[in-house]
Amino acid sequence: MKALEALDTMREGHDGSGVGLFLRDLGGPLAAVKGSPILSGIFTEAGLKKLDALMMDIGFMTKYRMGIRLPATPPAGTPKRDIYLIRAYDYPSAWETLSETEKHRRLMETRLRLRKMGEAEGDMIVFSFWPDVVMIKEIGDPLTVGRYLDLDRHGLTARVILAQGRQNTNYAINLYACHPFFLEGYATMTNGENTAFIPVKEFLESRGFEGYMGFQSDSEVFVHILHYMERFLDLPLEAYKHIITPLPDAALTAHPNARLLRTLKQSCRKLIIDGPNCVIGSLPDGSVFMAQDSKKLRPGFVGGKPGIWGFSSEVCGLDTVIPDRDKTKDFQPMHLDMAVVGPDRKEVTVCRQTDRLSRQV
C-alpha cells in the first residue's frame, strides 16, 4: 500500500485507469514458502476448477493459499471478479531430479498453458508462476483498488516492489498489457512509447523462444530484451543500454569495448528502441535499475538511503516513501546513464555507456 500511496501523489502524471504490482523477495506469510512457485492471477469459479484439474494432473499440490475476500460491490470502473488468486505449490515429485533451469522452463510453460486455456472464455488471467513472486493487476484507480483488495490486511510485503498506475494507452484495455511485465524472473515497466515495436517484436519472435509472446503492449518487449540479453547473450546489465540505445559509431571508436559493442550494435540492430522511454526493471537477483533512451524526454529519479531506495518518475513519489533521505543526493539518469541498486541495497551505482563493461565478455 505504501507503493500505491506514492503513485497517488503522482496522480497528475498518470490517469488512474489501472494498477499493476510486481512483488519480489516476499515477507509475511509468503516468506515461509520462499522456494516454492507461486501462482498469481484472476479466476472465475469455472476457471478455478480448470486450474485445479490441470495442476493436479501435472502433480502440483497446494502448499499455501492467500484468500482475498472482496466487498460485494467493486469500486466504480473496476470489474466484478470471482477470485484473486495467490497460491503456492509444492513441485511435482517427478520434477525432483530436474535442474533449477529445467524447473524454471517448465514453470514458464505451465503459465503459458494456463494463459492460453483462459483466453477463450476469459476465465483465467495468469500474471506469474514463479518462486518468490506475486503480481496483481486490475482496472481502476490504484489506491482505491488497493483498499478494495485490502492489501494491508493480507500481510503482502516485499523488498522489491514495482508499481505502475495506468492501463495501456495504445491498444484496447487488456490486463496482460498492464505494466509491469514479467518473464522468468525478470520484470520491467516503462513510461513512454516504443514506436520501433514491430521490428523488435519480429526479431524476438524469430528467436524460437516460446516466452517471447503476447505483445499486447509495445512496452512488453523491454522485459523480453532484458531476458534475451542475460539468458541468451550472457552479457552484464550495462549492456542493456548498448542494445536498446547503442552509441553513435563515432563514440564507439574510443570505447574500451569497441569491438564487442560494434558487433552487438550490428547483430541486435532490430532491438534498438525508439522512444522516449524511461525503463525501470528488476533482475532475478533482486537488483533494480532505471535507464533512459537516447532522447531523454521522460522524467526519472532515484533516491534513498542504505537499506531502502526508490525509483520514481516524480520526486514527490520518493518523498512519500523515503521522506528522510538526503535529497541532495537524488540522481536523475540522463541519456547515457543506467542507475542500479544491487540486492544488498547499500548504494546506487551509475553506469555510463562510455564506461568499460563490468566484466569481460
Do 161 and 3 contact (CB within 8 A), yes or no? yes
- What pLDDT, on the 0 to 100 scale, is given for residue 194? 84
- What pLDDT, on the 0 to 100 scale, is given for residue 69? 77
**Cell representation of residue 310:** 526508490
- What pLDDT, on the 0 to 100 scale, is given for residue 154? 72
- Picking from 129, 293, 287, the residue whose alpha carbon sits closest to that of residue 218 is 293
- What pLDDT, on the 0 to 100 scale, is given for residue 242? 95
The domain segmentation of the chain, as residue ranges, is 1-173, 179-361
Query: Which residues in the chain come in under a pLDDT of 50?
Result: none
Domains 1-173 and 179-361 share a fold: yes
Q: What is the pTM of this model?
A: 0.94
CATH of 1-173 among 3.40.50.300, 3.60.20.10, 3.30.70.1430, 3.30.300.30: 3.60.20.10
Q: Domain 179-361 classified CATH 3.90.25.10?
A: no
